[in-house]
Chains A and B, each alone.
Chain A
Amino acid sequence: MKAIIDSLKSHSSTSSGVQPHPFWVMVRKEIADHIRSWRFLVLLVLVVLTFWGTTSVSMANLRQVVGNANDPDSLFLYLKLLTTTEGSLPPFHVFLSFLGPLLGISLGFDAVNSEQQNGTLTRIMAQPVFRDNLLLSKFVSALTLVGSLLLSLSLLMIGGGILITGVLIEVEELIRILGFTFLCTIYVGFWLGLSILLSILFRQGATSALTAIGIWLFFTVFYQIIVNLVAEALVPAESALSQQAILRYNELLLNLLRLAPSQLYTDATTTLLMPSVRSLGPITMEQMAGAIPSPLPLKESLMIVWPQLSGLIAATVLCFALSYYLFMRREIRS
């Protein structure tokens, strides 16, 4: 008893300033939880295997690709490492477009409902912490993990590339690769936000996981089919239309497709990793006339990617805002 009172006294006199904010305590605990969990281990192995597989395939084909004088991107050795494929395996960034959602969903689908089921939610909420700190800590911790995982993989690839080929990396390539890592993190962040939202909506972890996977499948498989079907039904026969009208319809179709986050991600990564991509929409012959097939400078690529990036961030923020709205008004008793 005395010890407690003594420690309380010393606590009130010495501390203040040194102790971390409760939010960071929560983030630390969440990260520790993830790292210790089997789930994260499985995902880690999956991502690392994918990375290793795709990189070794592109390594094997590197000499041939870089020697191809017709390819305007052939000088970007490290970007080639990320994007080259011989056909048996898709390149890493395409792989990530469906591994990313899996990462996000599996790290977030039971974020809130498992706490509610175990009765820990009431206990944590009875401590002097703000309600939103819990949500934010779940989001920040998972995203920190994903971000550092992707960043270390990219750096590993660059380092390995320097060792094997002996070619130094260009600043532009470095920025493009870091941008790609950032983009991937945001993309995973969107799915994380969505799965956290679902974990608030549904009390059962299995329901929220299934719903998240359903949404993911819908966007990757069915959404394009549906958009194409609708377009086919609505748009009159091509021969009857002027060129302008065809262009307009095409634009509309693309914009509809871009409602899917995976489309945004694919557009953005393609532009970042393949500098010769000049536009993501249709280009007329007049626009193409006189253009030399050469890589775009970094700034131009970033300009093309910008709307995609803001779209992804906006979608993530939207999911998160909805989660906040629902969670703040939620009865927390189990």
Chain B
Amino acid sequence: MDNPIIQLRHLTKHYGDFKAVKGLDLTINKGEIFGLLGPNGAGKTTTILMMMGLTEPTSGTAQVCGFDASRDPISVKRLVGYMPDSVGFYDNMTALENLMYIGELNGIPRAEVENRALTTMDLVGLQGDAIHKKTSAYSRGMKQRLGLAEVLIKEPKVIVLDEPTLGIDPSGVREFLSLIMRLSREKGLTVLLSSHHLHQVQQVCDRVGIFVNGELLVEGDINSLSSQLFAEKSYEIHVSLEETISLPWKDETEMLQMPSVQSVSAVDQRIAISCKVDVTPDVVRFFVHRGYGVTGVQKKEYGLEDIYQKYFEDSKFN
């Protein structure tokens, strides 16, 4: 299913001497949920602004929905809904008025705009009193929902969300992300979201790209990323004990002789064992036989957080 809707070719942005984005090449297909991950200041927002035609790239092109974002930004903006990281509304207007204003700017006729706005607000879960409340009285989570409504009212083909989960509580985040996922699946929307909250993004993204210091270090789906990265060291078992271990640990050599165990490290009451194959039962048996009081066993698999951590660390050393 190769149907690129966003194509960035060698996109570069310099602010004076500072290189915010360095030669970014990226293709996003229709209907995909793509997560742009990276620490603060990695150039995510700059990239998004260039895609929306809100900032001129120093060099390179951004093609969105078949239009060049820097030559024809109006056509791009007609088809792309963008929610900035700090959503702000006109505080002297009610939520509905704010939404209707945006609707009208997108060319929805006056006669229809109110109904459209109400339906969209219902869709994102803003109902009842919230509709006619001034936005100054809105909570962060509600603002985020209103922001999403504003993105959806123009019936976009692509939605771009910059740090959509910033500042909402965990349950709110889960709800918000599942809402985005549902909308994307139902309407065939392409979603690009940027975040530094990795585990949140992990739940919804089809593909992720890790973006550090203006460079896209790696892209792909999460499974292939982790297997590619942690080919040798794929499991880590943490065992917590009742008694404190005196260093050097007397059983360490014996443990290392177990099949497929690669390394062992012990700190106070915790022992970390990394191995190629899942040998958790053997390890537990080993401890029980030697009379240790095992209080907890934790098997760790590598997730996005670790992938990201690894890349981030690598780029720091370079």
Chain A interface residues (CB < 8 Å from chain B): 1, 3-4, 7-8, 10-11, 14-15, 18-20, 22, 25-26, 29, 33, 36-37, 118-120, 122-130, 331-334
- The complex places the Cα of A37 from the Cα of B90 at a distance, in Å, of 13
Q: Tell whether B84 is near chain A: CB-to-CB under 8 Å.
A: yes
- The complex places the Cα of A311 from the Cα of B110 at a distance, in Å, of 41
User: Are A18 and B84 closer than 8 Å at their CB atoms?
Assistant: no
Known contacts A122-B54, A127-B77, then 6 further A-B pairs from the complex at CB < 8 Å, ordered by chain A residue: A11-B112, A19-B107, A22-B104, A33-B92, A119-B84, A331-B55
Given contacts A4-B155, A7-B112, A37-B92, contact A334 B86 (CB under 8 A): yes
User: Are A120 and B89 closer than 8 Å at their CB atoms?
Assistant: yes
Q: Which residues of A contact B115 (CB under 8 A)?
A: 3, 7
Given contacts A7-B116, A19-B109, A333-B49, contact A1 B89 (CB under 8 A): no
Contact of B105 among A14, A15, A122, A124 (CB under 8 A): A124
Within 8 A of A (CB), among B64-109: 74-75, 77-78, 80-82, 84, 86-92, 101-102, 104-109
- The complex places the Cα of A269 from the Cα of B110 at a distance, in Å, of 43
CB distance from A126 to the nearest CB of B (A): 4
User: Are B150 and A123 closer than 8 Å at their CB atoms?
Assistant: yes
User: Are A22 and B107 closer than 8 Å at their CB atoms?
Assistant: yes
Q: Tell whether B119 is near chain A: CB-to-CB under 8 Å.
A: yes
Given contacts A4-B116, A33-B92, contact A126 B87 (CB under 8 A): no
* Chain B residue nearest to A127 in the complex (CB): B105
Q: Which residues of B contact A25 (CB under 8 A)?
A: 101, 104-105
Offer 17 A-B interface pairs, CB within 8 angstroms, sorted by A: A1-B186, A4-B120, A4-B123, A4-B155, A10-B112, A15-B109, A19-B108, A20-B104, A20-B110, A25-B101, A37-B92, A118-B89, A123-B89, A127-B102, A128-B78, A334-B84, A334-B88
- The complex places the Cα of A279 from the Cα of B105 at a distance, in Å, of 50
- The complex places the Cα of A129 from the Cα of B106 at a distance, in Å, of 8
Q: Tell whether B47 is near chain A: CB-to-CB under 8 Å.
A: no
Q: Tell whether B198 is near chain A: CB-to-CB under 8 Å.
A: no
Q: Tell whether B8 is near chain A: CB-to-CB under 8 Å.
A: no
CB distance from A332 to the nearest CB of B (A): 6
Q: Which residues of B contact A332 (CB under 8 A)?
A: 49, 54-55
User: Are A128 and B150 closer than 8 Å at their CB atoms?
Assistant: no
Given contacts A37-B92, A331-B55, A333-B45, contact A123 B112 (CB under 8 A): no
Q: Tell whether B52 is near chain A: CB-to-CB under 8 Å.
A: yes
Given contacts A8-B155, A118-B91, A128-B74, contact A123 B119 (CB under 8 A): no
- The complex places the Cα of A11 from the Cα of B120 at a distance, in Å, of 15
User: Are A123 and B104 closer than 8 Å at their CB atoms?
Assistant: no
* Chain B residue nearest to A7 in the complex (CB): B116
The number of A-B residue pairs with CB atoms under 8 Å apart is 102
- The complex places the Cα of A39 from the Cα of B112 at a distance, in Å, of 33
Q: Which residues of A contact B101 (CB under 8 A)?
A: 25, 29
Contact of A22 among B75, B105, B112 (CB under 8 A): B105
Q: How large is the interface on B (under 10, 10 to 19, 20 to 34, 35 or more residues)?
A: 35 or more
Q: Which residues of B contact A333 (CB under 8 A)?
A: 45, 49, 54-55, 84
Given contacts A126-B52, A129-B105, contact A119 B78 (CB under 8 A): no
User: Are A26 and B109 closer than 8 Å at their CB atoms?
Assistant: no
- The complex places the Cα of A334 from the Cα of B87 at a distance, in Å, of 10
- The complex places the Cα of A128 from the Cα of B88 at a distance, in Å, of 18
CB distance from A138 to the nearest CB of B (A): 14
CB distance from A178 to the nearest CB of B (A): 33
Per-residue 0/1 for B248-292: is the Cβ within 8 Å of any A Cβ (1 yes, 0 no)?
000000000000000000000000000000000000000000000
- The complex places the Cα of A58 from the Cα of B28 at a distance, in Å, of 73
Within 8 A of A (CB), among B273-318: none
User: Are A11 and B106 closer than 8 Å at their CB atoms?
Assistant: no
User: Are A36 and B186 closer than 8 Å at their CB atoms?
Assistant: no
Q: Which residues of A contact B150 (CB under 8 A)?
A: 123
- The complex places the Cα of A1 from the Cα of B88 at a distance, in Å, of 26
Q: Which residues of A contact B91 (CB under 8 A)?
A: 118
Given contacts A7-B115, A33-B92, contact A26 B123 (CB under 8 A): no
Given contacts A4-B120, A123-B87, A128-B74, contact A11 B49 (CB under 8 A): no
* Chain B residue nearest to A24 in the complex (CB): B104
Contact of B74 among A1, A14, A37, A130 (CB under 8 A): A130
Q: Which residues of A contact B112 (CB under 8 A)?
A: 7, 10-11, 15
User: Are A119 and B45 closer than 8 Å at their CB atoms?
Assistant: no
Q: Which residues of B contact A15 (CB under 8 A)?
A: 107-109, 112
* Chain A residue nearest to B78 in the complex (CB): A128
Q: Which residues of A contact B108 (CB under 8 A)?
A: 11, 15, 19
CB distance from B148 to the nearest CB of A (A): 12
Per-residue 0/1 for B113-135: is the Cβ within 8 Å of any A Cβ (1 yes, 0 no)?
00110011001000000000000
CB distance from B243 to the nearest CB of A (A): 56
Q: Which residues of B contact A11 (CB under 8 A)?
A: 108-109, 112, 116
- The complex places the Cα of A10 from the Cα of B84 at a distance, in Å, of 30
Given contacts A4-B155, A7-B115, A22-B107, contact A118 B54 (CB under 8 A): no
Residue among A18, A25, A33, A334 facing the most chain B CB atoms (10 A cut-off)? A25
Q: Which residues of A contact B107 (CB under 8 A)?
A: 15, 19, 22, 128
Q: Which residues of B contact A29 (CB under 8 A)?
A: 101
Q: Which residues of A contact B45 (CB under 8 A)?
A: 333
Given contacts A1-B123, A130-B74, A331-B55, contact A120 B105 (CB under 8 A): no
User: Are B109 and A128 closer than 8 Å at their CB atoms?
Assistant: no
Q: Which residues of B contact A3 (CB under 8 A)?
A: 115, 119
CB distance from B117 to the nearest CB of A (A): 10
* Chain A residue nearest to B46 in the complex (CB): A333
User: Are B119 and A128 closer than 8 Å at their CB atoms?
Assistant: no
User: Are A18 and B86 closer than 8 Å at their CB atoms?
Assistant: no
- The complex places the Cα of A331 from the Cα of B57 at a distance, in Å, of 12
